Amino acid sequence: MRPTKKIVTVAALLSLAACAPSTGGQAGTLNAEAEPLPSASVDAAFDLNALVEAAKKEGSLLVYDSSGDIEEVAKAFTAKYGIAMEGVKSDTPQTAEKMTREHAADNVTIDAAMYEDGGVLMGQLIPQGIVRTWVPADLQDQILPEDRNPLRALSKATVFAYNTKLSPGGCPVGNIWDLTESDWSGKVVMQDPLGKPTVLSFLTQLDSHGNQALEQAYQAKYGEPLKTEEKSAAYEWIKRLAANEPVLTGSDEDTSGAVGAPAATDRKIGFMSISKFRNNEDKGYTQATCEGMEPFAGFSYPKYVAIAAKSKHPNAAKLYVHFIMTEEGVKHEIGEGGISGNSTVKPLVAPAGLSDWKGQLFHTDPRSLVADLQNRQIMSDFWRLNHR
């Protein structure tokens, strides 16, 4: 007997995306161009005190996040409002899958979530009505219009980092093409792109708006224009990097340990989240961003916050969104470096070697995140083909 099809899961949608051509959409596939999202909701008669009282009556809150920092956010939220909040660290794909299934079963436990994978959020979860965007009315003027739907809680960064103890004179590489040379074979440590959506998105974004910078960096290093049989400079760099035997890890923590731990004796370049710079203080690591690296020292990406459409604690979820959009809430997420989605919240610290967020980083274009999702399988296959 054929089972009844109740829901198209995130995994199934990713499979559809894998079948889609990179140049456009087909029936039954994700479109390369993002469809307009449902409007973000803003309560016309917003009253923060009334929201707090309504949230207290609901009694509890569950929020998922890809960062363990959510546990500190939860402690601060509970201390401030007296509402029991649980923060759970969960990889974005697993969070999206769980929220999709809970929505279909009308058995929602996750009230809100933080999403680093903007493609899944904008291409699947919001259009399907699984989650929704709510913007605090009293903070609306502090949030740029382009950051309101979906609501960007903050931006984070992944950077090329080195061990300052082993290289006291500064980063031993000054050009991104250096990482493709034999001198660095087996000495670049990074999360496997196939398991890290933000890194995979970075690779696809390089092809969409990073080719000129890559070509200029190649010219600066080798003194001649890049010649390639690949579709672009981005694909050529990705191919060379993958073939240069990078060491792939399952977490940024493992990458940080391989690069900056006190016991490290071999110089390596790590590609890791700036959040791992906390290890310098917590564990005695010696690591810093490759400052001055051309054409950029890493990439920034947005992290969004959304509420489950069928949340059983909708007011508590709204109060959490309000909290994370203030310095009091977001400081636990940007403690080691990051940019709040609230324009009035200033960066708390400058990560070692990353003094110019705007100038040193390649910046993810949110308008391309749905296209990233569609092209994800194409890039995954290309990486698999070239990684030894």
294 and 164 within one domain: yes
Query: Per-residue pLDDT for 142 more than 70?
Result: yes
* Signed CA dihedral, 346, 364, 92, 48: sign only: positive
Residue 31 lies in a domain: no
Question: Per residue in 206-242, pLDDT tens?
Answer: 999 999 999 999 999 999 999 999 999 999 999 999 9
Structure confidence at residue 48 (pLDDT): 97
216 and 151 within one domain: no
162 and 295 within one domain: yes
Q: Where do we find the tokens 């092209």?
A: 375
Q: Please state, rounded to an integer, the average pLDDT across all residues of the chain.
A: 90
Please tell me the total count of domains within the chain: 2
**H/E segment holding residue 283:** helix 278-283
235 and 163 within one domain: yes
The enclosing domain of 48 has a CATH number of 3.40.190.10
Structure confidence at residue 35 (pLDDT): 67
* Signed CA dihedral, 341, 344, 348, 351: sign only: positive
Question: Per residue in 41-80, pLDDT tens?
Answer: 999 899 999 999 999 999 999 999 999 999 999 999 999 9
